[in-house]
Structure 1
Amino acid sequence: MWQYKQFEELSAHDYHQIVKERTKVFVVEQGCAYQEIDDIDLHAVHLIKRQKGTIKAYARIYKQDKKMRIGRVLVPQEFRSEGHGRELLKIALDYIICKYPKAEIEIQAEAYLKDFYESFGFRAISDLYYDEEIGHYDMELKKEEPVVHV
Protein backbone atom coordinates (compact mmCIF):
# COMPACT_ATOMS: atom_id res chain seq x y z
CA MET A 1 0.00 0.00 0.00
CA TRP A 2 1.28 3.45 -0.95
CA GLN A 3 1.15 6.28 1.57
CA TYR A 4 1.88 10.00 1.28
CA LYS A 5 2.64 11.56 4.63
CA GLN A 6 3.78 14.96 5.81
CA PHE A 7 6.29 14.85 8.66
CA GLU A 8 3.59 15.71 11.21
CA GLU A 9 1.56 12.70 10.05
CA LEU A 10 4.37 10.22 10.59
CA SER A 11 4.21 8.23 13.80
CA ALA A 12 7.41 7.65 15.74
CA HIS A 13 7.31 4.07 14.41
CA ASP A 14 6.92 5.31 10.79
CA TYR A 15 9.87 7.67 11.08
CA HIS A 16 12.00 5.02 12.80
CA GLN A 17 11.32 2.57 9.92
CA ILE A 18 12.15 5.23 7.31
CA VAL A 19 15.39 6.34 8.97
CA LYS A 20 16.40 2.72 9.55
CA GLU A 21 15.99 1.89 5.83
CA ARG A 22 17.66 5.11 4.65
CA THR A 23 20.61 4.52 6.95
CA LYS A 24 20.87 0.88 5.86
CA VAL A 25 21.00 1.87 2.17
CA PHE A 26 22.76 5.24 2.08
CA VAL A 27 25.16 4.96 5.02
CA VAL A 28 25.89 1.27 5.62
CA GLU A 29 25.41 -0.33 2.18
CA GLN A 30 27.08 2.53 0.32
CA GLY A 31 29.71 3.12 3.00
CA CYS A 32 29.02 6.85 3.28
CA ALA A 33 29.44 8.75 6.51
CA TYR A 34 27.22 11.81 6.21
CA GLN A 35 24.31 13.56 7.91
CA GLU A 36 21.47 11.26 6.81
CA ILE A 37 18.74 13.01 8.81
CA ASP A 38 18.30 16.63 7.80
CA ASP A 39 15.76 19.43 7.97
CA ILE A 40 14.29 18.53 4.57
CA ASP A 41 12.38 15.74 6.33
CA LEU A 42 10.39 18.39 8.20
CA HIS A 43 8.76 19.82 5.06
CA ALA A 44 8.90 16.86 2.65
CA VAL A 45 6.11 14.55 1.63
CA HIS A 46 7.24 11.06 2.52
CA LEU A 47 6.15 8.50 -0.10
CA ILE A 48 6.17 5.01 1.38
CA LYS A 49 5.22 1.62 -0.03
CA ARG A 50 4.55 -0.93 2.69
CA GLN A 51 3.51 -4.55 2.53
CA LYS A 52 2.80 -6.42 5.76
CA GLY A 53 4.43 -3.61 7.75
CA THR A 54 7.69 -3.74 5.74
CA ILE A 55 8.96 -0.81 3.67
CA LYS A 56 9.38 -1.96 0.06
CA ALA A 57 10.11 1.49 -1.43
CA TYR A 58 10.53 5.06 -0.21
CA ALA A 59 11.24 8.57 -1.47
CA ARG A 60 10.73 12.06 -0.23
CA ILE A 61 9.28 14.85 -2.34
CA TYR A 62 10.02 18.47 -1.53
CA LYS A 63 10.36 21.98 -2.92
CA GLN A 64 13.77 23.63 -3.00
CA ASP A 65 14.90 26.64 -5.01
CA LYS A 66 11.42 26.88 -6.59
CA LYS A 67 11.79 23.37 -8.03
CA MET A 68 10.25 20.10 -6.96
CA ARG A 69 12.75 17.44 -6.02
CA ILE A 70 12.59 13.72 -5.45
CA GLY A 71 15.22 12.46 -3.04
CA ARG A 72 16.32 9.57 -0.84
CA VAL A 73 14.87 7.21 -3.44
CA LEU A 74 15.33 3.68 -2.17
CA VAL A 75 14.26 0.09 -2.47
CA PRO A 76 15.77 -2.15 0.22
CA GLN A 77 18.26 -4.60 -1.25
CA GLU A 78 16.10 -7.67 -0.59
CA PHE A 79 13.23 -6.21 -2.69
CA ARG A 80 15.17 -4.96 -5.71
CA SER A 81 14.37 -6.37 -9.16
CA GLU A 82 10.68 -6.65 -8.21
CA GLY A 83 9.64 -3.43 -10.00
CA HIS A 84 9.25 -1.30 -6.86
CA GLY A 85 11.71 1.37 -8.06
CA ARG A 86 9.91 1.94 -11.35
CA GLU A 87 6.55 2.04 -9.56
CA LEU A 88 7.95 4.43 -6.93
CA LEU A 89 9.21 6.92 -9.48
CA LYS A 90 5.95 6.79 -11.45
CA ILE A 91 3.89 7.43 -8.30
CA ALA A 92 6.21 10.28 -7.21
CA LEU A 93 6.04 11.94 -10.64
CA ASP A 94 2.25 11.54 -10.79
CA TYR A 95 1.98 13.20 -7.37
CA ILE A 96 4.13 16.17 -8.38
CA ILE A 97 2.47 16.63 -11.77
CA CYS A 98 -0.99 16.53 -10.13
CA LYS A 99 -0.15 18.90 -7.24
CA TYR A 100 2.38 21.17 -9.01
CA PRO A 101 1.67 20.88 -12.76
CA LYS A 102 3.96 23.77 -13.77
CA ALA A 103 6.88 22.91 -11.50
CA GLU A 104 10.28 21.91 -12.75
CA ILE A 105 11.35 18.53 -11.35
CA GLU A 106 14.93 17.67 -10.45
CA ILE A 107 16.75 14.74 -8.92
CA GLN A 108 20.31 13.93 -7.90
CA ALA A 109 20.90 10.55 -9.53
CA GLU A 110 23.62 8.06 -8.84
CA ALA A 111 25.53 7.52 -12.08
CA TYR A 112 24.60 3.84 -12.43
CA LEU A 113 20.89 4.83 -12.42
CA LYS A 114 21.20 7.49 -15.14
CA ASP A 115 19.59 5.27 -17.81
CA PHE A 116 16.77 4.37 -15.41
CA TYR A 117 15.90 8.03 -14.87
CA GLU A 118 16.30 8.83 -18.57
CA SER A 119 13.64 6.19 -19.28
CA PHE A 120 11.20 8.50 -17.42
CA GLY A 121 12.24 11.56 -19.45
CA PHE A 122 14.94 12.99 -17.18
CA ARG A 123 18.08 14.43 -18.72
CA ALA A 124 21.44 15.23 -17.16
CA ILE A 125 22.00 18.92 -16.44
CA SER A 126 25.43 18.48 -14.88
CA ASP A 127 28.63 16.68 -15.66
CA LEU A 128 29.44 13.59 -13.63
CA TYR A 129 30.51 14.58 -10.12
CA TYR A 130 31.32 12.68 -6.97
CA ASP A 131 29.45 13.01 -3.70
CA GLU A 132 30.75 10.77 -0.90
CA GLU A 133 32.89 9.04 -3.59
CA ILE A 134 29.78 7.97 -5.53
CA GLY A 135 29.26 9.28 -9.07
CA HIS A 136 26.16 11.44 -9.51
CA TYR A 137 24.38 13.54 -12.10
CA ASP A 138 21.92 16.33 -11.47
CA MET A 139 18.96 15.61 -13.71
CA GLU A 140 15.73 17.38 -14.63
CA LEU A 141 12.54 16.10 -16.14
CA LYS A 142 12.49 17.10 -19.77
CA LYS A 143 9.35 19.11 -20.42
CA GLU A 144 7.39 18.29 -23.52
CA GLU A 145 7.66 21.05 -26.08
CA PRO A 146 4.28 22.51 -27.05
CA VAL A 147 3.13 21.54 -30.51
CA VAL A 148 2.63 24.55 -32.76
CA HIS A 149 0.08 24.07 -35.53
CA VAL A 150 0.47 26.37 -38.51
Structure 2
Amino acid sequence: EQNCPYPELDGRDLEPDSEQLWVTVDDEVAGTIRILRDADALRIGRVVVAAKHRGTGAARELFAYALERCAQIAPELKLVLDAQAPLQGWYGSFGFTPVSEVFYEDGIPHVTMELTNNA
Protein backbone atom coordinates (compact mmCIF):
# COMPACT_ATOMS: atom_id res chain seq x y z
CA GLU A 1 0.00 0.00 0.00
CA GLN A 2 2.81 2.42 0.79
CA ASN A 3 4.99 1.40 -2.14
CA CYS A 4 8.08 0.76 -0.02
CA PRO A 5 10.83 -0.59 -2.26
CA TYR A 6 12.51 -2.64 0.47
CA PRO A 7 11.02 -5.64 2.32
CA GLU A 8 11.02 -5.49 6.10
CA LEU A 9 13.21 -8.52 6.64
CA ASP A 10 15.19 -7.39 9.66
CA GLY A 11 15.11 -10.75 11.43
CA ARG A 12 13.91 -9.20 14.68
CA ASP A 13 10.60 -11.07 14.58
CA LEU A 14 12.59 -14.18 15.47
CA GLU A 15 14.21 -12.74 18.61
CA PRO A 16 13.13 -14.76 21.67
CA ASP A 17 11.63 -11.75 23.47
CA SER A 18 9.83 -10.18 20.51
CA GLU A 19 6.04 -10.25 20.66
CA GLN A 20 3.53 -10.05 17.84
CA LEU A 21 0.06 -8.80 18.79
CA TRP A 22 -3.07 -8.61 16.67
CA VAL A 23 -6.71 -7.71 16.84
CA THR A 24 -9.46 -9.57 15.05
CA VAL A 25 -12.83 -8.37 13.83
CA ASP A 26 -15.35 -11.03 12.81
CA ASP A 27 -12.62 -13.72 12.90
CA GLU A 28 -10.42 -11.69 10.53
CA VAL A 29 -7.09 -10.13 11.48
CA ALA A 30 -7.74 -6.40 11.42
CA GLY A 31 -4.37 -5.14 12.64
CA THR A 32 -0.99 -6.06 14.07
CA ILE A 33 1.78 -4.60 16.25
CA ARG A 34 5.28 -5.81 17.08
CA ILE A 35 7.04 -5.23 20.42
CA LEU A 36 10.83 -5.54 20.59
CA ARG A 37 13.28 -5.20 23.44
CA ASP A 38 16.14 -2.79 22.75
CA ALA A 39 19.00 -2.23 25.19
CA ASP A 40 17.29 0.62 27.05
CA ALA A 41 13.69 0.59 25.80
CA LEU A 42 10.82 -1.40 24.42
CA ARG A 43 10.22 -0.58 20.76
CA ILE A 44 6.76 -0.65 19.24
CA GLY A 45 6.68 -1.13 15.50
CA ARG A 46 4.86 -2.46 12.52
CA VAL A 47 1.61 -0.86 13.61
CA VAL A 48 -0.65 -1.89 10.74
CA VAL A 49 -4.42 -1.85 10.38
CA ALA A 50 -6.24 -3.09 7.29
CA ALA A 51 -7.81 -0.24 5.33
CA LYS A 52 -11.36 -1.48 5.86
CA HIS A 53 -10.87 -1.43 9.66
CA ARG A 54 -9.42 2.08 9.93
CA GLY A 55 -11.66 4.49 11.77
CA THR A 56 -13.45 1.67 13.60
CA GLY A 57 -11.49 1.84 16.85
CA ALA A 58 -9.60 -1.38 16.12
CA ALA A 59 -6.25 0.43 15.99
CA ARG A 60 -6.88 2.25 19.27
CA GLU A 61 -7.93 -0.99 20.96
CA LEU A 62 -4.85 -2.82 19.70
CA PHE A 63 -2.46 -0.01 20.58
CA ALA A 64 -3.91 0.35 24.09
CA TYR A 65 -3.45 -3.38 24.60
CA ALA A 66 0.16 -3.13 23.36
CA LEU A 67 0.83 -0.43 25.96
CA GLU A 68 -0.64 -2.63 28.68
CA ARG A 69 1.52 -5.50 27.51
CA CYS A 70 4.64 -3.31 27.56
CA ALA A 71 3.85 -2.30 31.15
CA GLN A 72 3.68 -6.01 32.05
CA ILE A 73 6.90 -6.89 30.23
CA ALA A 74 9.17 -4.12 31.53
CA PRO A 75 7.47 -1.20 33.30
CA GLU A 76 10.85 0.35 34.09
CA LEU A 77 11.71 0.86 30.41
CA LYS A 78 10.66 3.75 28.23
CA LEU A 79 8.70 3.01 25.07
CA VAL A 80 9.86 4.24 21.67
CA LEU A 81 8.42 4.11 18.18
CA ASP A 82 9.07 5.64 14.78
CA ALA A 83 5.76 7.22 13.81
CA GLN A 84 4.79 8.29 10.36
CA ALA A 85 4.88 12.06 10.75
CA PRO A 86 1.17 12.66 10.02
CA LEU A 87 0.27 10.28 12.87
CA GLN A 88 2.12 12.18 15.62
CA GLY A 89 -1.17 13.48 17.02
CA TRP A 90 -2.64 9.98 17.21
CA TYR A 91 0.37 8.62 19.10
CA GLY A 92 0.40 11.81 21.16
CA SER A 93 -3.11 10.96 22.37
CA PHE A 94 -1.49 8.01 24.18
CA GLY A 95 1.18 10.23 25.76
CA PHE A 96 4.01 9.84 23.24
CA THR A 97 6.12 12.92 22.49
CA PRO A 98 8.49 13.53 19.57
CA VAL A 99 12.21 13.18 20.37
CA SER A 100 13.69 13.56 16.89
CA GLU A 101 13.51 15.68 13.81
CA VAL A 102 11.58 14.33 10.85
CA PHE A 103 13.51 11.70 8.90
CA TYR A 104 12.61 9.71 5.82
CA GLU A 105 12.29 5.95 5.72
CA ASP A 106 11.37 4.48 2.33
CA GLY A 107 10.41 7.98 1.21
CA ILE A 108 7.89 8.38 4.06
CA PRO A 109 8.41 11.12 6.71
CA HIS A 110 8.78 9.68 10.22
CA VAL A 111 9.59 11.01 13.68
CA THR A 112 10.84 9.06 16.69
CA MET A 113 8.49 9.34 19.66
CA GLU A 114 8.88 8.29 23.26
CA LEU A 115 6.75 7.50 26.28
CA THR A 116 8.86 7.69 29.41
CA ASN A 117 6.24 6.62 31.94
CA ASN A 118 5.50 3.00 31.01
CA ALA A 119 3.84 2.06 34.30
| Match among 28, 53, 71 for residue 54 of structure 1 | 28
Q: Which of the pair is proportionally richer in helix? A: 1
Task: Please name the residue that 2:12 is paired with.
Answer: 40
Which structure has the highest strand share of the two?
Answer: 2
Gaps of 5+ in 1: 1-28, 145-150
With the length of structure 1 as denominator, give the TM-score of the two structures.
0.73
- For 2:57, the equivalent position in structure 1 comes to 83
1:85 aligned counterpart, secondary structure: helix
Identity of aligned residues (%): 34
Bigger Rg over Cα:
1
Give how far 1:70 is off.
0.6
Q: CA deviation at 1:66?
A: 2.4
In structure 2, the CA distance between the partners of 1:37 and 1:50, relative to structure 1 (3 Å rule), is farther
Q: How does 1:58-69 map to 2 (within 5 A)?
A: 58-69=32-43
Cα offset, 1:53, TM superposition? 3.6
Structure 1 position 143, deviation (Å):
2.8
SS in 1 for 2:47: strand
What residue in structure 1 maps to residue 89 of structure 2?
115
Q: State the Cα RMSD in Å.
A: 1.4
